[in-house]
């Protein structure tokens, strides 16, 4: 007799979706971003959903995971994670890299468990401590459009250009008008530091008292980081990854007047001890996509609490399955100290979940109350975006290569200033 909680198969579907020309310290986002959608099918027909960042390596690892998990019990998430980890270990030495795969499968298992039990995923994480989760507007310097290229016409969007302080303030106003965000993160590392300092000061003037963060993704030396930190004393709630590595961050933290945050130098369990010993960071941006899933993220929150680290949340270009998972785990973490990052407003037009559940009101998303993640797959959208993936030929993210198509002498230099 078949066991209803047994995993029958894991269906792994790579997709591509539209992304605006957002600038960062590596270059500029390409017209298409990649994700991978997971459907974990149980013997009884229940389907659990998961979402992972895209790219060929991640796709191959998820396909390897699919072979390992078939036949396992969906409630045995520790064993499922361990089996995937063991299968990947010989070819993927980095625990951080293996974490991307185990995390995506864990979310799909939890969605299926919740559906079987008729309970939301947040209940499986211990219940909610908040009914809705605050998110920050994620501001980017950006071009007005993807320029015409290789016979393709230019592709515009309804955000317009943002290439100076006035453009950033205007983008923040739009973000607030459309989604009600009450805090703002600026992706920096694009223009010389003084220009980015001016943009943050313009935001502080336009939105008095509203929390602000700046994240140049290690575009600055220790000296430059110290200078920016001094200039923005009293203006930022935290400064994110100004410079590279735990040692570099520790050197900046020594005299920075604000806390330092990271989603770059502490990305695996083995990084916590040296970072804490050196007081390199004061805010950890967690991300369930690589910390081992939703349960491990909750455990990470407890570690942060024990060592006095504040907690925030990182995001990458993502769609609704990830947003639902982020919302459930954020709702279950008592010590979430800052609003979470989300790229969702930049990509939500191409979502793979049916509309109606995930909406931003006053910058917050209500925790879905339906079984599992509480979102439903839009099969038509999944097919369309999978076809787009197949037809596009895009197989990995290359912000630098894309920038070079327009500025052939563009160099990836970190630190740049
Ligand atoms: O906080 C971060 O470092 C990110 O969000 C990383 C992303 O890759 C972001 O820089 C982007 O999408 O350009
Ligand atoms: Mg960051």
The predicted-structure confidence for 279-299, as pLDDT tens digits, reads as follows 999 999 999 999 999 999 999
- Supply the residue whose CA is at minimum distance from atom 12 of ligand 1: 316
Q: Is the CB of 316 under 6 A from ligand 1?
A: yes
**What is the predicted pLDDT for the residue at 185?**
98
User: Could you tell me the distance, in angstroms and rounded to a whole number, from the CA of residue 9 to the centre of ligand 2?
Assistant: 35
- Supply the residue whose CA is at minimum distance from atom 1 of ligand 1: 314
* Contact by Cβ (8 Å): 230, 242: no
* Contact by Cβ (8 Å): 199, 170: no
Phi first, then psi, for residue 24 (nearest 5°) are -150, -175
* Contact by Cβ (8 Å): 114, 372: yes
* Contact by Cβ (8 Å): 239, 229: yes
CA distances for 270 relative to 126, 231, 360, angstroms: 26, 33, 35
Three-state secondary structure call for residue 268: coil
**What is the predicted pLDDT for the residue at 1?**
57
User: Could you tell me the distance, in angstroms and rounded to a whole number, from the CA of residue 70 to the centre of ligand 2?
Assistant: 35
Query: In ligand 1, which atom is closest to the CA atom of 399?
Result: 13
Assessment of whether the complete model's pTM goes beyond 0.90: yes
**Of 8, 314, 338, 343, catalytic:** 314
In the residue annotation, 244 being an active-site residue is answered as: no
* Contact by Cβ (8 Å): 417, 77: no
**Of 146, 185, 187, 244, catalytic:** 187
What is the distance in angstroms between the CA of the first residue and the CA of the last residue of the chain? 65
- Supply the residue whose CA is at minimum distance from atom 9 of ligand 1: 316
Q: What is the CA radius of gyration of the chain?
A: 21
Phi first, then psi, for residue 161 (nearest 5°) are -85, 155
Distance CA 242, CA 225 (A): 6
- Supply the residue whose CA is at minimum distance from atom 13 of ligand 1: 24
- Supply the residue whose CA is at minimum distance from atom 10 of ligand 1: 24
User: Could you tell me the distance, in angstroms and rounded to a whole number, from the CA of residue 307 to the centre of ligand 2?
Assistant: 21
Distance of CA 27 to the CA centre of its chain: 18
Residue ranges of the chain with per-residue pLDDT less than 70? 1
- Supply the residue whose CA is at minimum distance from atom 8 of ligand 1: 316
Ligand 1 pocket test, pick from 215, 326, 346 with the greatest ligand atom count within 8 Å of Cβ, gives 215
Q: Is the CB of 314 under 6 A from ligand 1?
A: yes
In the residue annotation, 187 being an active-site residue is answered as: yes
Three-state secondary structure call for residue 57: helix
Q: Is the CB of 24 under 6 A from ligand 1?
A: yes
Residue 149 DSSP class:
B
Distance CA 68, CA 85 (A): 10
Query: In ligand 1, which atom is closest to the CA atom of 22?
Result: 13
Phi first, then psi, for residue 400 (nearest 5°) are -75, -45
Residues β-bridged to residue 372: 120
**Exposure letters 328-350 (e unless 16+ CB within 10 A, then b):** bbbbbbeebbbbbbbbbbbbbeb
Ligand 1 pocket test, pick from 24, 143, 322 with the greatest ligand atom count within 8 Å of Cβ, gives 24
Q: Is the CB of 342 under 6 A from ligand 1?
A: no
Distance CA 69, CA 58 (A): 16
151-160, Cβ contacts within 8 angstroms, sequence gap of 24 or more: 155/18, 155/31, 157/20, 159/20
CB atoms within 10 A of CB 78: 10
Q: Is the CB of 217 under 6 A from ligand 1?
A: yes
Distance CA 122, CA 262 (A): 25
Q: Is the CB of 142 under 6 A from ligand 1?
A: no
CA distances for 201 relative to 55, 94, 213, 260, 261, angstroms: 37, 39, 11, 18, 19
Distance CA 374, CA 178 (A): 23
Q: Is the CB of 263 under 6 A from ligand 1?
A: yes
Return the ligand number nearest the Cα of 189. 1
């Amino acid at each position: 007799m078949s066991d209803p909680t047994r995993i029958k198969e894991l269906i792994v579907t790579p997709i591509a979706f539209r992304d605006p020309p957002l600038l960062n310290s590596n270059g500029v986002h390409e017209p298409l971003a990649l994700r991978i959608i997971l459907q974990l099918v149980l013997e009884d027909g229940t389907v659990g959903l998961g979402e992972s960042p895209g790219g060929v390596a991640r796709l191959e690892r998820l396909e390897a995971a699919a072979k390992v998990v078939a036949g396992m019990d969906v409630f045995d998430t520790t064993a499922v994670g361990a089996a995937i980890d063991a299968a990947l270990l010989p070819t993927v030495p980095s625990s951080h890299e293996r974490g991307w795969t185990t995390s995506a499968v864990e979310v799909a298992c939890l969605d299926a468990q919740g559906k079987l039990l008729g309970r939301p995923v947040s209940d499986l994480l211990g219940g909610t401590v908040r009914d809705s989760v605050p998110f920050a507007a994620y501001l980017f310097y950006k071009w007005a459009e993807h320029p015409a290229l290789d016979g393709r016409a230019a592709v515009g969007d309804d955000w317009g250009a943002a290439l100076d302080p006035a453009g950033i303030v205007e983008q923040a106003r739009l973000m607030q008008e459309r989604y009600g965000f009450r805090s703002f993160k600026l992706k920096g590392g694009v223009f010389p530091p003084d220009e980015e300092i001016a943009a943050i000061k313009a935001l502080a003037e336009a939105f008095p008292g509203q929390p602000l963060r700046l994240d140049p993704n290690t575009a600055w030396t220790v000296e430059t980081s110290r200078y920016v930190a001094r200039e923005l004393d009293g203006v930022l709630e935290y400064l994110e990854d100004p410079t590279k590595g735990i040692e570099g961050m520790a050197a900046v933290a020594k005299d920075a007047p604000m806390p330092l945050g990271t989603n770059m130098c502490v990305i695996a369990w083995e990084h916590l001890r040296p970072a804490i010993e050196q007081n390199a960071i004061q805010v950890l941006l967690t991300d369930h996509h690589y910390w081992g899933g939703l349960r491990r993220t909750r455990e990470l929150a407890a570690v942060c609490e024990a060592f006095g680290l504040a907690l925030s949340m990182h995001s990458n270009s993502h769609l609704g399955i990830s947003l639902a998972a982020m919302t459930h785990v954020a709702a279950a973490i008592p010590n979430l100290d800052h609003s979470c990052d989300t790229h969702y407003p930049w990509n939500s037009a191409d979502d793979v979940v049916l509309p109606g559940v995930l909406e931003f009101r006053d910058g917050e998303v209500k925790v879905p109350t339906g079984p599992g993640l509480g979102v439903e797959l839009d099969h038509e959208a999944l097919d369309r975006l999978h076809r787009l993936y197949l037809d596009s030929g895009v197989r990995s993210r290359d912000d630098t290569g894309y920038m070079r198509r327009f500025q052939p002498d563009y160099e990836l230099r970190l630190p740049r200033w």
